[in-house]
Amino acid sequence: MSTIPHHQPDDRAGEGLGAVPTGRAGHNGVLAAMCLALVLVVASVSALNLALPDLAVDLSATNGSLTWIADAYTVALAALVLPLGAIGDRLGRRNVLVAGTVVFGAASLAGSFADSTTTLIVWRVVMGLGAAMIMPGTLSTITAAFPPEQRAKGVATWSGFAAAGAILGMLAAGTLLERYSWRSIFVTSAAVALVAALAAILLAPDTKDPHPEPPDVPGAVCTALGIGTLVFAIIEGNEQGWTQPPVVAALVVTVLAFTAYAWLGLRNEHPLLDPALFGIRGFRAGAITVLVQFMAVFGFFFVGLQYLQLVLGYSPLKAAVALVPVAVVVLPTSQLTPRLVRRVGMKVTMAAGLALLSAGLFVISRIDVDSGYLPFLGGLVLAGFGIGLSGAVGTSAITGSLGRGRQGVASAMNDTTREVGSAVGIALMGSIYGSHYRSSLPASLDQLPAEAASAARDSAAAGLHVAEQLGAGAGGGALADGVKAAFMDGLSASLVAVGAVVLAAAVGCLFRAPRTPPTSD
């Protein structure tokens, strides 16, 4: 990702002004290698969600700890993807990507030996560092290697795998958990990282910025600090209380960090990411669309998978298969999006996609303990159409708003909005769910032994484990019913909150996004 002066035209020559050589495998080989690396990164956001019930029992993890285990990786990825993208521009995007697979693989293997939530969270952070080295090069390599007439298709394919990769990761995780423990997910991720490194070396060109700009250290620090403290405040605000000093301090630091980023960026000749870019309507609309889409998707995966496992009693594999309809809908829809944009315009497509995603969340928010899978499936299909439309058009709006020589910036912004959205979505939905779950537990919980009551308050998985140990005759059945009802209250509240945000974004795009899609030619 190039750091481009916000007050100078981008007239640099070289990489980015024409398709770079792709080697014997051609464009399909480049696309395959970059999508494999992308799936590795995206799948690691979602795959561990299937193991949350096991982690809650095995490591005695609370709802807050489970949120951090899921989100530590995403926070590190979101906070570091911009500066590490800039390093990739300077040293070579494939070089940094391959180095990232080594860091990712080593941390994933180490995580398989974790014996506490703290240790696991630390290794998830290191995995996020590796992922931040991998992700920026995936999209920018595709846009650099593909000629203008094929670039929209390449971006649409990338976008489809970005969404479907989460499902692929959960299917793999579900298959592993049928026979092995949650540790197998980390071992398998390390093996896939090795394959991704080899594919990148053999199939993808190494592209770089021929005229790299000076590094923007203050901008990198401000963005990383702002993202990290924002997620900390969301998670711990619901755990500790919003008026607690650490939470208030985190919110203050968040505001100061992002304010400093904007102030310094507008005065820096070579900002990490120029704040003035948000003045471009297509760029701004694309960024908002991608942000809220991923906020909804990965927040939903965090709580939705627990519904399938804890309330419906699905095995990990069956729960993953239950989400396959999303991928079945997303991939073909994303491929058709460029044609739809040409017919009805960008803002209608963008708004329709977000509206469908919001409708899907609202449908699922209405289900209860006895609803079963079919109403859940109806909401999934609606959301899948919305994801396919909004993801592809949002990414195209970002990349098309900037010139060929600035595709590194476009790629980094696209990656950042995705990962910030994912991190905030997991934190927001996990926190809303957790607070409503605790407040909705039955008063009879106080009649249990203190240790059992505390475990039930920590997480729904632990509560159902306690109920199973008690047995139906000793109040276990009533406790299980109460835990499931409290879980559904938390699920519904979190889905309504995020669905409202997505709907507001849809309305905003309908009135503020440009009708004609921008082009980077």
User: Interhelix angle for 63-91 vs 117-145, to 10°?
Assistant: 40
Alpha helices in 268-373 (DSSP H): 281-306, 316-322, 324-344, 346-365
**For residue 132, how many other CB atoms are within 10 A of its CB?**
30
pLDDT at 260: 94
The pTM of this model reads: 0.79
* Nearest in space to 301 (alpha carbons), one of 503, 71, 50: 50
Which bin fits 339, alpha (ψ -120 to 50), beta or left (φ > 0)?
Answer: alpha
pLDDT at 8: 36
pLDDT at 130: 96
pLDDT at 237: 81
Cβ atoms 169, 40 nearer than 8 A: no
CA–CA separation, 424 and 264 (whole Å): 24
pLDDT at 354: 95
Burial of 449 (0-12, 13-18, 19+ CB in 10 A): exposed
* Nearest in space to 201 (alpha carbons), one of 112, 129, 96, 106: 96
Encode the chain (521 residues) as per-residue pLDDT tens digits.
433 333 333 333 334 444 555 555 577 888 889 999 999 998 988 888 888 888 988 888 887 888 889 889 988 988 888 888 878 878 888 899 999 999 999 999 999 999 999 999 999 999 999 999 998 888 878 877 777 777 777 877 887 787 678 888 888 999 999 899 999 999 999 999 999 999 999 888 887 777 767 778 898 899 889 988 888 888 888 777 788 898 899 999 999 999 999 999 888 887 877 888 888 888 888 889 999 999 999 899 888 989 999 999 999 999 999 988 888 888 788 888 888 888 888 889 999 999 999 999 999 999 999 999 999 999 999 999 999 888 888 888 887 777 665 666 677 777 788 888 888 898 889 889 988 998 898 887 878 888 888 888 888 888 888 888 877 666 778 888 899 999 999 999 999 999 999 999 999 998 888 887 666 55
pLDDT at 3: 39
pLDDT at 7: 36
* Nearest 10 degrees: Cα torsion 502, 503, 504, 507: 120
pLDDT at 473: 62
